[in-house]
Amino acid sequence: MRPLESAQENIRRLAEDSTINLPYLKQCCTINRSSHCACVNCGIEYCCDECRCQAYHLYHQILCLGEDRQNPNHPINLLIDVWRQMHFPPETTTIYLIIKLLAMMKQMPNNEELVKKLSNFECALVNENEQISHKILKEKFFNELESLREMTLEIFKSNFYVAECEPWLSKEGFCQLFALFGRNSQGIGTSPFSVYVDNVSSLNTLTKMEKKKLDKFIDKLYSKLEKTAGNFLNSEGSGIYEYQSMINHSCRPNAEISFRNNNFELSIVALEDLQPGQEILISYLDECELNSSRHTRQKLLRENYLFNCQCERCLAEIDQPDVTSDEDFEELDDDDEYEDIDDDEDQDMEN
């Protein structure tokens, strides 16, 4: 899995602004379109023929829509459209992961191995010991979930019925599927814009003034992305990783998730020197959430991962007030720290 878009196409789509022009694009965008290919039946594009063949052998024989891929009234397209109306664009992959999973169960000759692998992932909706329930069980999500379940069930029965999967489409089973992906899925950091930012920030040919203008321009773009892509601006997909899902959380992690090759290959990178036998700890929260108050972090971890965090940092901050400060989720635009960028500078950077 590699990006199909250029950095400029990526930022324009995510920011919902077709007028954005990125400076130094040729030097800093690494997309190679020569390896791209497509399914001859439905036209869906792949980053390379290896990915196309892998998808074909895993699930695409069942999931290929042919000419109906462009039909907005096809049940699968209707389902994805309903999901998109509920979530930020990159997170639309979650419902499609469920569809892919069902198609894999239908297509794979030996699906027992897949079921066995799935059993290694946490999917409980309630932590009985701590008396914590997943947020998906809240009443406000009931109608949305039921609508998605009914649409998925119709697709399942019509296109790829497998008896072993029927319990997954019950009301409780469907919630557990969502919990499985919600508690274990990892955003895949293949955003070509984030790679572009890394590359352009490393340019050593810029003057101090050009560097200053560039930094302000990028900050302004990220501020705009906060409105349209939320926490998913650097993730262009999601997946579940068996070994990564076994690593415990800490609000003071000693390792982090990285996609160093800008594809689906996940790396665990140490943030400090680790001793033999020392436990590896990552953060289940994104950078913004990790910088929030103890109360906010605890709330997010309880609602999404069903545990009360007892990490070193949380214990050290135990005397903090049990209230969520307004600053935790303030919009960056409320300050508008970029007002000092005049129109001339914006135009200068876009050319």
Q: What is the pLDDT of residue 312?
A: 95
Average pLDDT, integer, range 221-244: 78
- Rounded Cα distance, 174 and 78, in Å: 18
Average pLDDT, the chain: 85
Say yes or no to pLDDT of 89 above 60.
no
Return the residue matching tokens 């949380």.
314
Q: What is the pLDDT of residue 230?
A: 66
Average pLDDT, integer, range 41-47: 93
Beta bridge partners of 133: 126
Say yes or no to pLDDT of 338 above 90.
no
Handedness of CA 46, 160, 98, 67 (dihedral sign): positive
> Rounded to a whole number, what is the largest CA-CA distance in the chain?
65
Which pLDDT band holds residue 345 (cuts at 50, 70, 90)?
very low
Q: What is the pLDDT of residue 173?
A: 93
Q: What is the pLDDT of residue 141?
A: 87
Say yes or no to pLDDT of 342 above 50.
no
What is the per-residue pLDDT across 104-116, written as a single tens digit (0 to 9) for each? 999 988 889 899 9
Say yes or no to pLDDT of 178 above 80.
yes
Say yes or no to pLDDT of 324 above 80.
no
Say yes or no to pLDDT of 332 above 80.
no
Say yes or no to pLDDT of 335 above 70.
no
What is the per-residue pLDDT across 90-104, written as a single tens digit (0 to 9) for each? 444 578 889 999 999
Q: What is the pLDDT of residue 136?
A: 87
Say yes or no to pLDDT of 37 above 50.
yes
- Rounded Cα distance, 40 and 194, in Å: 31
Which pLDDT band holds residue 232 (cuts at 50, 70, 90)?
low
- pLDDT, greater one: 1 or 80: 80
Percent of the chain with pLDDT over 70: 87
